[in-house]
């Protein structure tokens, strides 16, 4: 009986503690509270009005609005009884009415950011209306993801407004006003259709304050020449993994303040890249369309590399230079010197030319960090034997301190490559060898190779050799 009394007493104490507990969330400053709510979908934000009287109108003053169709996939059970297209229409209508209601009930409340993830739940004319609301209320950021659109042209007003950040993931036509937007600082386009070119088929992107530009699988059908001439552009990412959207477009890059450049996917028909004096990081991984020859593709890559002579960090991924005449042509035309290059990353593919590797290292006398993937090397006949001696006569890596060798897979090419690097790097501090998946599971073979590597001569007496499992 005494035990039950004690238990009841403890329960009453916990109850009193709970009843006097402070609602710390409601006591937060309004700016912090709004920041927390900005991570929620507006449907969830509006539902906070049911928490208490203090929260009844909080959602009305939130300035970052996010609407996603994903939230509307979880409709209440009775709505799921509607079948087929009727069910989809019901959700679509409810989603659009909800957005209309939120924007209407907020009246002229401030709007900093509007994010719409519509998928197939929105009519295009309704999206245009919401864009005009964002423009009218002087939003700074606008995000739109939609499967609708096709030949629909976005309103011109979006690029003549106060919007500084615009993210678009939709197959819609962009207006020419995009090219000269005066307030735009960040622009990301995914599956978007670029504006129509002028009489010469050229589209000139000259936004005066644009700093960040990302083009992912965009549609270039109506653009013969795409000229990126934004004077303040700092970061440029172009990914053309979907070759069907590229067409026969040529590209010009005239961006003197560019610090980061990433080129991925299929290459353009032709390249013109002005020298990039401010470039710090460059990542190049290109593929070749069937209609382009190896020679043409290599020439395009050379034109890009020639503009990177001031780069500090360079990453190159090669999946397509395979024949000897082509790779020798590339080796002979590479920049004579990357004068500022400190970090070089060569993610080589299945077939690569040793002359290209040699020329890149020869052109990088000040490189301090080297990451290289062991290729199945294609040898040029005159240097098939003792090719590492040929390399040593071509280049010495007198500043190289750290090496990482990836996909170390066999005793022939892997050992020859490591042997050369140990001889060429006079001040080397550490070389990290990461075996291939196959080799890492063969403990006996891996042990033999480890002994062979540790017995190799090295120019730097302090160089450490470390094997790390992948």
pLDDT tens per residue across span 383-398: 445 556 656 666 678 8
Taking CA 23 as the corner, what is the angle to CA 20 and CA 27, rounded to the nearest 5 degrees? 130
3 state SS of 140? coil
pLDDT of residue 181: 96
Helices (H), 260-374: 294-306, 324-333, 354-362
Q: Which ranges of the chain have pLDDT less than 70?
A: 1-40, 44-61, 73-92, 107-108, 120-121, 148-151, 243-244, 288-297, 318-336, 348-355, 375-395, 410-413, 470
Rounded-to-integer distance, Cα 457 and Cα 465, Å: 12
Phi then psi dihedrals of residue 455, to 5 deg: -90, -5
Task: Spell out a b/e string for 307-318, using b for 16 or more CB atoms within 10 Å of the CB, else e.
Answer: bbbbbebbbbbb
pLDDT computed for residue 415 by the predictor: 82
Digit-coded pLDDT (tens) for 51-108: 556 666 666 667 788 888 877 765 543 344 433 333 444 566 778 888 888 888 776 6
pLDDT reported for residue 24: 61
**Could you tell me the end-to-end alpha-carbon distance of the chain, in angstroms, rounded to an integer?**
64
Predicted TM-score of the model (pTM): 0.81
Nearest partner of 421 among 438, 397, 445, 453, judged by Cα: 397
């Amino acid at each position: 009986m005494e035990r039950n009394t004690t238990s009841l007493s403890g329960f009453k104490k916990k109850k009193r503690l709970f009843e006097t507990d402070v609602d710390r969330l409601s006591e937060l400053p309004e700016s912090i509270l709004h920041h927390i709510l900005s991570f929620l979908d507006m449907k969830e934000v509006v539902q906070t009005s049911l928490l208490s009287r203090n929260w009844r109108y909080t959602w009305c003053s939130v300035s970052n609005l996010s609407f996603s169709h994903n939230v509307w996939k979880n409709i209440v059970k009775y709505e799921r009884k509607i079948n087929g297209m009727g069910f989809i229409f019901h959700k679509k209508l409810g989603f659009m009415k909800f957005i209309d209601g939120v924007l209407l009930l907020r009246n002229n409340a401030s709007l900093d950011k509007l994010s719409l993830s519509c998928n197939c739940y929105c009519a295009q004319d309704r999206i245009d209306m919401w864009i005009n609301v964002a423009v009218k209320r002087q939003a700074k950021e606008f995000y739109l993801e939609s499967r609708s659109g096709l030949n629909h042209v976005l309103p011109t007003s979006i690029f003549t407004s106060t919007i500084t950040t615009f993210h678009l993931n939709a197959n819609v036509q962009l207006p020419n006003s995009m090219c000269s937007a005066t307030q735009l600082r960040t622009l990301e386009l995914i599956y978007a259709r670029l504006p129509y070119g002028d009489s010469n088929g050229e589209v000139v992107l000259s936004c005066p304050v644009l700093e960040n530009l990302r083009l992912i699988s965009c549609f270039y059908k109506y653009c013969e020449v795409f000229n990126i001439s934004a004077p303040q552009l700092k970061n440029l990412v172009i990914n053309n993994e979907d070759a069907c959207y590229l067409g026969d477009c040529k590209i010009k890059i005239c961006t003197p303040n560019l610090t980061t450049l990433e080129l991925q996917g299929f290459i353009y028909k032709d390249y013109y890249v002005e020298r990039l004096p401010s470039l710090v990081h460059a990542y190049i991984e290109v593929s070749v369309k069937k209609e382009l020859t190896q020679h043409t593709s290599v020439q395009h890559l050379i034109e890009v590399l020639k503009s990177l002579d001031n780069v500090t960090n360079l990453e190159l991924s090669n999946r397509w230079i395979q024949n000897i005449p082509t790779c020798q042509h590339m080796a002979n035309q590479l920049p004579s010197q990357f004068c500022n290059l400190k970090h070089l990353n060569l993610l080589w593919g299945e077939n690569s030319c040793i002359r290209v590797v040699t020329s890149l290292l020869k052109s990088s006398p000040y490189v301090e960090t080297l990451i290289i993937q062991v290729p199945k090397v294609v040898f040029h006949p005159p240097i098939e034997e003792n090719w590492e001696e040929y390399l040593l006569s071509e280049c010495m890596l007198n500043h190289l301190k750290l090496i990482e060798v990836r996909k170390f897979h066999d005793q022939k090419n892997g050992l020859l490559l490591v042997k050369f690097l140990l001889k060429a790097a006079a001040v080397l501090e550490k070389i990290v060898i990461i075996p291939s998946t196959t080799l890492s599971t063969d403990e006996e073979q891996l042990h033999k190779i480890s002994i062979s590597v540790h017995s190799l001569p090295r120019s730097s007496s302090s160089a450490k050799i470390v094997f790390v499992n992948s």
